[in-house]
Structures are given as structure tokens and as C-alpha cells.
Amino acid sequence: MAEPSDRVIPLRHYGRWVSGALVLLVLALVARAFALGQIDWPVVGQFFFSPVLVKGLGNTLLITVLAILMGLALGIVFAVMRLSRNPVTNAVAGAYIWLFRGTPVYLQLLIWFNLALVFPTVNLFFWKARMVDVMTPLLAALLGLGFNEGAYMTEIVRGGVLSVDRGQMEAASTLGMTRLMAMRRIVLPQAMRVITPSIGNEFIGLLKTSSMASTIAFTELLQRAQNIYFVNAKVIELLIVAAGWYLIVVTLFTLVQNRVEARFARGQSHEPPPGYWHQLGRNLARKRGPAAAAGSSR
Amino acid sequence: MNVSSEPMVKAVNVHKYYGHNEVLKGIDLEVARGEVMCILGPSGSGKSTFLRCINHLETTNRGRIYVDGELVGCRESGGRLFELRDREICRARTKMGMVFQHFNLFPHMSVLDNLIEGPVQVLRQPREAAVERARALLAQVGLAHRESSYPRQLSGGQQQRVAIARALAMEPKLMLFDEPTSALDPELVGDVLAVMRDLARSGMTMLVVTHEIGFARGVAHSVVFIDGGVVVESGPPGEVLDHPRHERTRTFLSRVPG
């Protein structure tokens, strides 16, 4: 018999050890299957930094960044229209969302790419050209992904603006600000805090959706990987390379996202939010036990 | 009390509808320069709506409101009233400060940035001058040490004092207070009322919608009782609060503490 004590002895969770071990076992089996499967791993290493694929990655990033910027610009404009008391602008913004959210982005890409079938020439009065020359794969991909993204962004921005208390607009008005200035200086910066996590998700979604632009001959990462395996037949190996690059970009982007969200969260918590590396360092250094707990409760 | 011939605020027959619901049924009222006027009344009486009509946060449907001799929100031409554009109304609003029940500080800006936002962005004052004046105002409301805090790090009473300083930073001729202490914990009310009392002593024209009978009795020059969208009675606090002539005023005062 142990000494009598008023110390509470924590419950031991044997079930967690069992389920944890089972999951690790399954993971080990999957890893083993892939390691022994017919994958030519040296080919993966050989092509990982091949200039052709790195160039494709560059194009993927280019189209993603351009489309997200275009989507954000369209989103702000259409959100303001959607929130306006003018029934015409309101309805037009509604129709835009309905049209571009209601059709597959793949279909929209095909329409932009084949726009020459509808309008053989572009005529801007001072400048005239054949549509097939103007509508390059890059432009078609940008318009297709950008307009589609704008429709989603409109709803995100609108939600962000609506989340800002009405009193903010009133307080800005009493300082003599016009509606536009109050929107720019007071409402939108606060809406950004609500919007940024969603924009991050949209960026990651768009990064992957941009692979659809491969179908309209835009030479992004996946399309280039396919071009290589059509020649050397190392299908899975090149798809693994592409997957690796997508994962790397998403991981790096998450770090950036972390920083941006901390910036827009200014004034939200009682303490300034810790930076990412500071947070990481603290997480790594955190020890168990009362001594460490006393040290970390600053 | 610095009384000149022209009143700071003059309301003539002000009507306001929400749909078919008439919330203001012809308000007539005058506030002299340097006068502190408290507006009392039950909730839903239209007292806050009337205050918000003065700086045109609410539009009026009929009647005229003059502030500092200028018609607010409208332009008169050929005996008819035409609503003004946003930009023209904004210019008029810079003459009036407003303090809200829920403070409405800008949470994404530090206290100092809240104070200089209007002077720098709207009045186009140089930043250094605005910062200097903002610091003086923060000292005046007893918060000199909190200029780099964010609003959410402050107590309700501190936030409301910052809100008063923010309104004063625009150097207004008139201050409007919309139930400035109603959202505060009881022990924080005193600090805010003290700042308002100092402001009243400095000669600021103030129009205060409040339930603080003690403040009305001690600081106000005049008290107006509004109920059902009309002015029921008005006069010096000693008369209205201690010897009300109307039954509705008596009933209301008997239900309000203080």
C-alpha cells in the first residue's frame, strides 16, 4: 500500500497508446508499400530541380498571384456594388456572382480560350487585332481564373464588410469623412482581418485549380510534368515531383499567411501577437512541469 | 455662460418618419452658445433620433435644423428644402463632435491614431501638430500614458474618455453625447462624467442625451423632457426635475434613480 496522500492521481489513458500504435503501424505499412512499389525514386530526384519543371512552377505561381490579385480587385468592386443601395449596381453584382459561381471554372477557361469563335477580331477603335493572337493561353487562363475568383472574392469581401459594426461607419461620418474615405480608412482595414484567412484559403485553392489551365495549353507545372512523362513514361515519378512542389509552395505560403493575419489582428487581443518564429521557438522550448509553466506565464 | 444673440442649435418643427411610424412629431428647440442641455425621456421617445438628426446621421423628413446659423443636411431654395450631397454634409459635420453609447473607437488603430485620424485625414492638418494636440487632449481626459494602447486594451470608461478626446480633436463648436454612460459599469461612470463636467466648465456647447439625473441637476443649464416624439417640457433643471408640470415627466422621473 502506498502512503496516503491528497494528491489526485491522473487517469491513465491506455486506449490512446493502443490506438496510436495501430495508426503508426498502418502508416508504416503504407510507407513500406510505396517504398517497395514500382517507383523509380532516383528519377524523382533527377527531375525535381529540372529547369523545365521549375519554369512550369514559375508559371503556376505567376498565374496564381495574378488571378488572386484580379479576383481581389474584382471582389472589392463588386462587393461595394452589391452593398450599394442602387438597385441596378446591386443586381448587376448579383448576376455576376450567379454566372461565374454557377458554371465550372474548366468550362469558363474553355470559353475564354475559344473566344475567337465569337469575336474573330478585337476592335478597340484605336487598336485592332485578331483575337487568336490576343487570347494567348496566359491571358485566357488569367481571365478565366480571375473572373471566377472574383465571384467568390465578392462574397468574401461582402461578408467581411458586413462583419464590421455599423457604429464604425457612423463614427467615421461624425469626423467628417465621406462614405468612400470611411470605407477605405476605417471599414475595409477591419474587414481585412475577417477576410485574410479566407483569402489564404482561396490562394491555396487557386494554386491547385490553376492546374486546369494545362487544358488550354498554358504551360504550368502539371502540364510540363505531363509533357515529360509522355516522352519517358515515368508517369508516377513526375506526378510525385509535381505534388512535392505544390506541397512546398503551400507550406511556405502558410508561413506568410501567419504573418499577414498577425498584422491585421492588431488591436484585437490584449497582448500583441507573437511572431511566427518567436511562437515556434517558444513551442519548441516549452517544457512540462511547474518550473517551466511559471517561466512561460508572462 | 457665453450667450450671443444667435443660438448654436435651433430646431424648427422637425419631423422624422420610419415608414409610416412618426418618431419625431415636430420638435422645436434652441441651444444657446456655451449652454449645456440634457435631453431626458423614456426609451423609444425619439431623443436619440433627434440628436442624430442634428449631425444628419439620420435624415429628417420635414423641418429645419440650424447649427451655428447654418442649415444642416439641406439647402433652402425658393422656400423649399433640398437634401445635400454626402460631401457637403461631411463638411458641416466637422463642426460637431459626437460621442456614442458604445464608444465606436477604431479598434485597428492605437489611441493616438484614433485621435489624429480626423484632423489629419479630413482637416488635412500636419501630422506633428495633430499629434501634439492629441497628446494634450489625452492629458486632459487623464489618459496621457495610454496613447500607444489599442482600444480593446482599455476599460469602458477609458474608451469613452478617448472617444470624447477624439471628438474634441476636431475642435468642434458643439458636442453631442448619445447616452455616453449607459454602456458603462457603474464604477466607471464617474470618470466620464467628470471629463464632461470639465468640458462644460470650459464653455463648450453640449447637448447630452442621458439617464444621469444627477449630472443633469449638477451640470446642465437646461433640461428637456421628450416623450412620444414631442418636447413635453423644458426649462432649468431645478424646475423640470424638482417641480415638473406634466404628469408624464413626473411618472418618468419617479422611475429613474438619482
Distance from C-alpha of A125 to C-alpha of B135, rounded to nearest angstrom: 58
Q: State the nearest Cα–Cα gap between B246 and chain A, in angstroms.
A: 35
* A237 Cβ contact list (under 8 Å, min separation 6): A39, A40, A41, A43, A44, A47, A229
CATH code, domain with A230: 1.10.3720.10
All residues of chain B having their beta carbon less than 8 Å from the beta carbon of residue A193 are 108
All residues of chain B having their beta carbon less than 8 Å from the beta carbon of residue A266 are 108, 150
pLDDT band at A275 (very low <50, low <70, confident <90, very high): low
- The burial class, CB within 10 Å (0-12 / 13-18 / 19+), for A191 is buried
What is the structure's pLDDT at A34?
87
Mapping DSSP to helix (H, G, I), strand (E, B) and coil, where does residue B45 land? coil
| CB-based contact B251:B238 (threshold 8 Å) | no
- pTM higher than the cut 0.80: no
Q: What is the dotted CATH code of the domain comprising B1-95+172-258?
A: 3.40.50.300
Delimiting residues of CATH 3.40.50.300 domain(s) in chain B = 1-95+172-258
Residue A189 belongs to a domain = yes
- Out of B93, B100, B106, the one facing A176 most closely (by C-beta) is B93
All residues of chain B having their beta carbon less than 8 Å from the beta carbon of residue A265 are none
Residue A165 belongs to a domain = yes
Q: Confirm or reject contact between A166 and chain B (CB < 8 A).
A: no
Q: Confirm or reject contact between A175 and chain B (CB < 8 A).
A: yes
What is the structure's pLDDT at B149?
95
This model of the complex carries an ipTM of 0.91
| CB-based contact B83:B66 (threshold 8 Å) | no
User: Is residue A289 predicted with pLDDT exceeding 70?
Assistant: no
Residue B146 DSSP label: G
* Pair type for strands B9-18 and B21-31: antiparallel
Mapping DSSP to helix (H, G, I), strand (E, B) and coil, where does residue A7 land? coil
Digit-coded pLDDT (tens) for A112-140: 999 888 888 888 888 888 888 888 899 99
* Pair type for strands A121-123 and A128-130: antiparallel
Q: Which domain holds residue A163?
A: 47-265
All residues of chain A having their beta carbon less than 8 Å from the beta carbon of residue B150 are 266-268
Distance from C-alpha of A115 to C-alpha of A95, rounded to nearest angstrom: 21
493502443: which residue's cell?
A18
Digit-coded pLDDT (tens) for A10-67: 888 899 999 999 999 999 999 999 888 888 889 999 999 999 999 999 999 999 999 9
Chain B residues with CB under 8 Å of a chain A CB are 55, 57, 86-87, 90-91, 93-94, 96-98, 100, 102, 104-110, 117-118, 121-123, 150-153, 166-167, 170
Please give the tally of structural domains in chain A.
1
| CB-based contact B217:B197 (threshold 8 Å) | no
| CB-based contact B231:B40 (threshold 8 Å) | no
Distance from C-alpha of A216 to C-alpha of A23, rounded to nearest angstrom: 42
Distance from C-alpha of B207 to C-alpha of B99, rounded to nearest angstrom: 10
Cell of B236: 432649468
| CB-based contact B37:B224 (threshold 8 Å) | yes
Digit-coded pLDDT (tens) for A156-185: 999 999 999 999 999 999 999 998 899 999
What is the structure's pLDDT at B256?
82
User: Is residue B134 predicted with pLDDT exceeding 60?
Assistant: yes
User: Is residue A257 predicted with pLDDT exceeding 60?
Assistant: yes
Digit-coded pLDDT (tens) for B96-108: 999 999 999 999 9
Mapping DSSP to helix (H, G, I), strand (E, B) and coil, where does residue B231 land? strand
- In 3D space, the residue among A28, A43, A52 whose CA is nearest the CA of residue A240 turns out to be A43
What is the structure's pLDDT at A1?
60
DSSP assignments along A106-133, one per residue: HHHHHHHHTGGGT-SEEE-SS-EEEHHH
